[in-house]
Structure 1
Amino acid sequence: MDHSEIVFGILGNAFHCPVMGEFEYLENALITVDTAGRIQAVLRPEEYQSSGIVQALEGQGRLQRLTASQYLIPGLIDLHNHAPQWPQMGKGLDLPLYDWLSNYTFPLEAKYQDLEFARQVYGDLVQSTLSSGTTSAVYFSSLHLEPSLVLAETCLDKGQRAFVGKVCMDDPDQCPDYYRQSAQQSLYETETFNHAVAGMKGNQGLVSSVVTPRFIPSCTEGLLKELGQFATANDCYVQTHCSESDWARDYSQQKYGETDISVYERTGLLGRKTLLAHSIFLTNQDILIIKDRGAGIAHCPLSNMCFANAAMTTRELLDQGVHCGLGSDVAASVTPSMLRSCFDAVTHSRVREEGTSTHRPAGERGESNTRISLVESFWMATAGGGQSLDQNIGLFKAGFGFDAVVVDAAVPDCDLTIWPGMDSPADILEKIISTTSRHNVTRVWVQGRQVIDKKTAG
């Protein structure tokens, strides 16, 4: 067998979700990675034991063996993260959204004109997300051009697959005087940023630029149309917020007499590369349009519980085949961990299904058949996120980028405890989703490059 295209192989136990709602346990699997950082093959014991490939790779120092306490999972995908809000995480989450933005977010984001501040924060953020197992992240930056380039360069330097957007916001009625740009400047800097990211030395598609109108209340219709034209002409990713709260939904209705989705479609911002954060208050027509355009939704469960005023219809969106993944929504959450987002997505759906009022009979308290499972949420954070981005990531499959995370249950003083003979593969995966902390994440690869290597217990 010709092993010349193999850079290295990993031998051990792995989990992934090729189908939503189902997991596959790859016991003692051999995953080989080629020179482009793609998965060459995923081999079960009966497929590699007689081939000599394990012995050959091991003899050449190109085989990594996982211990019995270590499990390989696909790299986790964060579809919605506000990078400049990293120092704000955990603050003011009891406020209404509008007040939170005005009192905390906009003053903080304005500080990123200081490039040294930007380098300090973004270096810490990207390192923290990678250490938590996030191999791909979709970032809102601030509205500043140079600091946004600092974020993109930091992701490239540290090896994180990233989709970075310079925020656009020009409406004087909703944006503070100290934190807004003209539509002309927003468009010019978006074009400049897109060109600069594509031309970064060593960037071979790992970091992409994203057209980023913050949300409808912060942008004039003229700017939305200009950004839509640019995104269409240049086949760019687009990210924005959609119907995040009663206030945001009502704003679009009062100003345009339309839903957010209708406005985004009309201005050319809705397509296969569009990511819509939150999307709480969607009409049936909105859902049909999103599905028809192939856009993706970033479900941000913890921030939704703080700011959305309602629960997202995750179950229905998944059942209707809408592209849907998960977002941390840093800093409207308390952790960058996408496994925590998985767990929060489940609890979010369970509260919705069961209801909360003790003054109503059990059968009238919630919305029946609306829960999602831990395995479904894990699919959203891996394969579902990859589908939303239209990228071959999130699965252990030949031809997909090797984005992977080692979770080690033998790390001292941790909550992830596996009991041999008591925990089935299904039990182990649920424990990984529910109890993994950053300390359990010991190795991380992005496109075949190892970007995190902590001392392991095994």
Structure 2
Amino acid sequence: MKEFALVFQGTAFTSRSTKEIEILKDYLFCINEDGMIEKLVSPESAEYEEIIKQYEFKDSFHRLEKGQYLLPGFVDLHVHAPQWAQSGTALDLPLYDWLNTYTFPIESKFSDIEFAEKVYDDLVRTLLANGTTTVLYFATVHKEASILLAEICAKQGQRGLVGKVVMDNVDQCPPDYRDKDTETALKETEEFIIAVKDLAKSTKQGVYPVVTPRFIPSCTDEALEGLGRLAAKYDTHIQSHCSESDWEHEYVIDRFNKHDAFALNDFGLLQDKSIMAHCTFLADDDAELFAETGTAISHCPISNVFFSNGVLPVAHLHSKGVDIGLGTDISGGFSPSLFDNARQAVISSRMLEEGVDPKLPKETRGVPSSRITMNEAFYLATAGGGDALSLPIGKIEENFAWDVQIIDTLIPSAKLPLFNERLDEVFEKIMYLSRPENIREVWVQGNLVHKRN
């Protein structure tokens, strides 16, 4: 029998589709040296007992304890890494004022490498402890600090997709926080891409450079065009914000006489490895362009409550064929937990369907067929994120990375109220009630990266 690097025995929950959960009860999960799932073995399989007999007394064998369950590691599609320093504060202003009053001054401090290292190290540890195994990061305009974030992800074992932010539009960016000029922004972006690709050669779980125009208001046409060329030259992921708020959406219409989606596409920034945050104000033709180009949406439900002036119509956009994943949007979203954001995704969808103004008749108060279930929110946090990034992550399935979190429902400080429920009900309680204390272990690409004593 072939040797495996790791064998786990236990019950796992994973997405079968956008709406269905698959329960793998008492399975064996066989992991190879590369940290990939090579084989799933059900208890009914002829080789089940044979594998247990071969591995059960080896250090590589891990049997889950009573009350423990496996979930895929979460995929966070939108984190402003420097904003971890202000997370949980300064959520009192509209987006434009918030950026200029609080956020840009914080981000400008990341020219100080020691400060950057302190914040980034703490952020990556925090996200891993919250079960997040892959993160799509905005860094800052500073090349050195952006490379440092990728290095910290590599060191701590998190799969990090990191972007050096481009902000060269003097009309929209503060004088003390922007790229020196367009030529410098593009030159440093290319140097950043090369440095991270070199780092990736020695990083098992992968780190990736991401072309990152902050959003259209912060960038000149020349920068947007140059970034599209760089993304094509190096085959990188692309991230930005799109149709996020009334202000940002209307700014782009005034500047280009078209929506963000079509403006970004004109610059070569919409493609199969593009992820656009928020997208609250996408029109149907915008959504069709996303589906046609393979561009995905990062849905940030907590942040949207504060800054996006609306609720993303997840169900409608899925019906249009648009890929959607979940993001915390630290620090526009105050919580680093995708558990919290999955819950808010469900809540927001119910509010969109039922409406929020009690003065209106119930027949016209909301948007019909907008609600999503927790199964769908779980998909967004896991498989949806993997699909958005075009990476084999987010599912407990053969040929996918062994990125998992082990949830302990019986831990005394955070015991879940379970009383002989069916496994599908156990899953639902895990998703609605789990706290960070319930996440006992986190594995990325077959390596243990977090363990709670």
Could you say which TM-score interval applies, normalised by the shorter chain?
Answer: over 0.9
Residue 257 of structure 1 deviates from its aligned partner by 0.5
Check if 1:313 corresponds to 2:313. Answer: yes
Partner of 1:258: 258
Over the aligned positions, Cα root-mean-square deviation in angstroms equals: 1.1
Asked if the contact 2:204–2:445 (Cα under 8 Å) also holds between the matched residues in 1, the reply is no
For structure 2, list consecutive stretches of 5 or more residues without a partner in the other structure.
none
Q: Which amino acid aligns with 2:80?
A: H
SS of the residue 2:16 aligns to: strand
TM-score in terms of structure 2 length: 0.98
Deviations for 1:184-205, whole angstroms, at most 9, x for unmatched residues?
1111111001100111262256
Q: Where does 1:161-200 land on structure 2 (aligned, <5 Å)? A: 161-181=159-179, 182-200=181-199
Q: Structure 1 segments of 4 or more deviating over 4 A?
A: 48-51
Q: Where does 1:412-423 land on structure 2 (aligned, <5 Å)? A: 412-414=412-414, 416-419=416-419, 421=420, 423=421
For structure 1, list consecutive stretches of 5 or more residues without a partner in the other structure.
none
Residue 356 of structure 1 deviates from its aligned partner by 1.2
Q: In structure 2, what is the Cα distance between the partners aligned to 1:360 and 1:453?
A: 50
Residue 232 of structure 1 deviates from its aligned partner by 1.0
Check if 1:54 corresponds to 2:44. Answer: no
Residue 442 of structure 1 deviates from its aligned partner by 0.8
Asked if the contact 1:18–1:383 (Cα under 8 Å) also holds between the matched residues in 2, the reply is no
Asked if the contact 1:294–1:322 (Cα under 8 Å) also holds between the matched residues in 2, the reply is yes
Q: In structure 1, what is the Cα distance between the partners aligned to 2:396 and 2:205?
A: 20
Q: In structure 2, what is the Cα distance between the partners aligned to 1:411 and 1:20?
A: 30
Deviations for 1:151-202, whole angstroms, at most 9, x for unmatched residues?
0000000000110000000101100000011111111111001100111262
Q: Where does 1:110-259 land on structure 2 (aligned, <5 Å)? A: 110-181=108-179, 182-200=181-199, 202-204=202-204, 206-259=206-259
SS of the residue 1:199 aligns to: helix
Asked if the contact 1:402–1:446 (Cα under 8 Å) also holds between the matched residues in 2, the reply is yes
Judge which range, 42-51 or 273-282, deviates more: 42-51
SS of the residue 1:46 aligns to: coil
Q: Which amino acid aligns with 2:391?
A: Q
Q: In structure 1, what is the Cα distance between the partners aligned to 2:323 and 2:444?
A: 23
Check if 1:66 corresponds to 2:64. Answer: yes
SS of the residue 1:80 aligns to: strand
Residue 428 of structure 1 deviates from its aligned partner by 1.0
Q: Where does 1:422-433 land on structure 2 (aligned, <5 Å)? A: 423-433=421-431
Residue 416 of structure 1 deviates from its aligned partner by 2.7
TM-score in terms of structure 1 length: 0.97
Q: In structure 2, what is the Cα distance between the partners aligned to 1:204 and 1:253?
A: 43
Partner of 1:300: 300
SS of the residue 2:331 aligns to: coil
SS of the residue 2:406 aligns to: strand
SS of the residue 2:150 aligns to: helix
SS of the residue 1:45 aligns to: coil
**Which of these residues, 39, 42, 60, is aligned with residue 41 of structure 1?**
39
Q: Where does 1:19-34 land on structure 2 (aligned, <5 Å)? A: 19-34=17-32
Asked if the contact 2:28–2:48 (Cα under 8 Å) also holds between the matched residues in 1, the reply is no
Partner of 1:408: 408
Residue 50 of structure 1 deviates from its aligned partner by 5.3
Deviations for 1:218-243, whole angstroms, at most 9, x for unmatched residues?
00111000000110121111000000
Q: In structure 1, what is the Cα distance between the partners aligned to 2:215 and 2:254?
A: 15
Q: In structure 1, what is the Cα distance between the partners aligned to 2:232 and 2:148?
A: 25
Q: Which amino acid aligns with 1:328?
A: T
Residue 59 of structure 1 deviates from its aligned partner by 2.9
Structure-2 change in CA distance of 1:192 and 1:48 (3 Å): farther
Q: In structure 1, what is the Cα distance between the partners aligned to 2:272 and 2:66?
A: 41
SS of the residue 1:47 aligns to: coil
Q: Which amino acid aligns with 1:39?
A: I
Q: Which amino acid aligns with 1:364?
A: T
Q: Where does 1:279-428 land on structure 2 (aligned, <5 Å)? A: 279-414=279-414, 416-419=416-419, 421=420, 423-428=421-426
Q: In structure 2, what is the Cα distance between the partners aligned to 1:428 and 1:143?
A: 44
Partner of 2:2: 3
Asked if the contact 1:296–1:388 (Cα under 8 Å) also holds between the matched residues in 2, the reply is yes
Q: In structure 2, what is the Cα distance between the partners aligned to 1:358 and 1:410?
A: 41
Partner of 1:89: 87
Judge which range, 243-252 or 51-60, deviates more: 51-60
Q: In structure 1, what is the Cα distance between the partners aligned to 2:284 and 2:409?
A: 44
Asked if the contact 1:48–1:54 (Cα under 8 Å) also holds between the matched residues in 2, the reply is no
SS of the residue 2:188 aligns to: helix
Partner of 1:445: 443
Q: In structure 2, what is the Cα distance between the partners aligned to 1:260 and 1:123?
A: 34
Residue 413 of structure 1 deviates from its aligned partner by 2.1
Q: Which amino acid aligns with 2:168?
A: D
Asked if the contact 2:205–2:444 (Cα under 8 Å) also holds between the matched residues in 1, the reply is no
Q: In structure 1, what is the Cα distance between the partners aligned to 2:41 and 2:272?
A: 33
Q: In structure 1, what is the Cα distance between the partners aligned to 2:22 and 2:443?
A: 20
Asked if the contact 2:74–2:132 (Cα under 8 Å) also holds between the matched residues in 1, the reply is yes
Q: Which amino acid aligns with 1:334?
A: F
Asked if the contact 1:415–1:435 (Cα under 8 Å) also holds between the matched residues in 2, the reply is no
Residue 3 of structure 1 deviates from its aligned partner by 2.8
Q: Which amino acid aligns with 2:192?
A: F
Partner of 2:14: 16
Q: Which amino acid aligns with 2:253?
A: Q
Q: In structure 2, what is the Cα distance between the partners aligned to 1:450 and 1:203?
A: 15
Q: In structure 2, what is the Cα distance between the partners aligned to 1:302 and 1:130?
A: 20
